Amino acid sequence: MADYDLIIKNGTIVTADATIKGSIAVKDGKIKQVAADQTIEATADKEIDAAGLHVFPGLIDSHVHFNEPGRAEWEGLATGSRALAAGGATTFFDMPLNSTPPTINKENLKLKSSLADEKSIVNPRFWGGLVPQNIADLKELHENGVIGFKAFMSPSGIADFDNADDETLYKGMKEIASFGSLLAVHAESTVICDQLAAEKQSQGKTTARDFVESRPVISEIEAVRRIISYAEATGCKLHIVHASSRKVVEVINQAKARGVDVTVETCPHYLALTVKDLEEKGGLAKCMPPLRDEDEVEDLWAAVANGEINVIGSDHSPAPADMKTITDNYFEGWGGISGAQSLLNILLTEGYFKRNIPLEKIVELTSANPAKRFGIANKGTIAVDYDADLTLVNLNESFELKNEDLFYRHQHSAYVGKTFKGNVKTTIVNGDVVYNDGKIIADQQ
């Protein structure tokens, strides 16, 4: 009988703290040995020679919309999890909308969880929703394992997931604080965005630039300031999702300096795409908050480099092609970018290679910090007794992303046509290889 199930030898191991040469031994889904600068002298059922490869902790994508049950024709747990595996992610946090029914009570959570157990090839975790109708359900959702709660401060675009008015936010945050959980918010001002959108459209102004100007950075700032004040009043832990500008991040960091327990997430599209991409790619690059100009992208990268950003999640929000088609009115069409498979590729290409963001910082933002902030024990790093969730990457390999490379339910993305440097070769979930050299191994077992 072999000593270990798996040994990965000769790799360059990257954590949030250090990068070392070494080997990793795995048994029963756990890391049992990490040997720096040496080969592990033991037997294993399987060996991987990682010479020339970097070994990362598996990414934890904190923000995906897999839409199942109810909207699997947009994306499903099977296709979504395979796309994540191909991109080096081993755990995801699925948002409480766009599935129908939404994850706003225990019964709906159990339905989604059972489907994930059946279909997902990576580790599933779930957000609960905060809507005006479910404050009484929040504690039970927490007791049944949600990693936190999500609320929209502006309309979500989904009929059965209402945005939270100020009273709902305050009462919900007070309840969430009572059992020590956390609220994540989509922070845009309904008043500002609705009024600007109405003005633009009444004047026949419907271009990409008009759409972006109808959802300005100040709308995010107004909402963030308001929700931070509720966090201060209630003591609720807070997480601001998909900040599109460093100006938004600055408001959050001012609150941190006052002692508010608040963290901030941005997304790869705000670090890799601009309004020009929206003009050129149409609906494939439409999202909310919208893409910004190049100066905002560079400022956001400066915030990443300076440690002002806590988490980077994909905000993978897919839809069928007919919902992403825009002709001449950018106020029409679904707002969401398919990006879960490309998260690490973007951070390596745009961050590590182009802007000298350290590999350790990328691990911190995509693995270590999500695990710590959301209480995911035994994940987020490469260390003894942690889960064997690992991603092997060839940093010297470049490729152009093509539609046929995508594992999504709908093979389109705003990133198609981009050349990436740094290619995910192997993804290991709980000690099992699920993806290798472009193929889903989980489907061959």
Residues 149 and 165 in one domain: yes
Residues 6+ apart with CB under 8 A from 254: none
- The answer to whether the peptide bond before residue 123 is cis (omega within 30 degrees of 0) is no
Looking only at the bridges linking them, the beta strands covering 123-126 and 439-440 are unpaired
DSSP letter at 4?
A: E
Residues 46 and 116 in one domain: no
What's residue 444's pLDDT?
Answer: 64
Distance from C-alpha of 439 to C-alpha of 391, rounded to nearest angstrom:
14
What's residue 1's pLDDT?
Answer: 84
Residue 40 lies in domain: 4-55+385-396+421-444
Q: Is residue 67 part of a domain?
A: yes
Residues 197 and 237 in one domain: yes
Distance from C-alpha of 100 to C-alpha of 54, rounded to nearest angstrom:
40
Task: Give the model confidence (pLDDT) of 74-119 as tens digits.
Answer: 999 999 999 999 999 999 999 999 899 999 999 999 999 999 999 9
| Residue 170 pLDDT > 70 | yes
Residues 12 and 161 in one domain: no
Instruction: Please give the mean pLDDT across all residues of the chain.
Output: 96
Query: What is the pLDDT averaged over residues 231-255?
Result: 98
Residues 6+ apart with CB under 8 A from 433: 46, 426, 427, 441
Residues 202 and 240 in one domain: yes
Q: Is residue 416 part of a domain?
A: no
Q: Is residue 205 part of a domain?
A: yes
| Residue 223 pLDDT > 80 | yes
Query: What is the pLDDT averaged over residues 304-310?
Result: 98
Q: Is residue 335 part of a domain?
A: yes
Query: What is the pLDDT averaged over residues 14-27?
Result: 97
What's residue 445's pLDDT?
Answer: 57
Burial class (CB within 10 angstroms; exposed 0-12, middle 13-18, buried 19+) of 329: middle
Closest CA to 340 of 15, 147, 122: 122
Query: How many other C-beta atoms are found inside a 10 Å radius of the C-beta of residue 98?
Result: 24
Tokens found for residue 443: 């489907």
| Residue 287 pLDDT > 70 | yes
Helix (H, G, I), strand (E, B) or coil at 92: strand
Residues 440 and 292 in one domain: no
Residues 281 and 428 in one domain: no
Query: What is the pLDDT averaged over residues 213-217?
Result: 98
Residues 10 and 62 in one domain: no
Q: Name the band, by pLDDT with cuts 50, 70 and 90, for residue 37.
A: confident
Residues 70 and 42 in one domain: no
Residues 439 and 300 in one domain: no
Q: Is residue 408 part of a domain?
A: no
Query: What is the pLDDT averaged over residues 283-298?
Result: 98
What is the CATH number for 437? 2.30.40.10
What's residue 158's pLDDT?
Answer: 87
Q: Is residue 414 part of a domain?
A: no
Looking only at the bridges linking them, the beta strands covering 311-312 and 262-266 are parallel
| Residue 442 pLDDT > 80 | no
What is the CATH number for 67? 3.20.20.140
Q: Is residue 288 part of a domain?
A: yes
Query: What's the pTM?
Result: 0.97
Helix (H, G, I), strand (E, B) or coil at 253: helix
| Residue 414 pLDDT > 60 | yes
Q: Is residue 413 part of a domain?
A: no
Place of tokens 């201060």: 232
Helix (H, G, I), strand (E, B) or coil at 310: coil
Closest CA to 314 of 291, 346, 289, 282: 346
Query: Among residues of the chain, what percentage have pLDDT more than 70?
Result: 99
| Residue 38 pLDDT > 80 | no
Residues 316 and 304 in one domain: yes
- Count up the domains in the chain and report the number: 2
Residues 46 and 157 in one domain: no
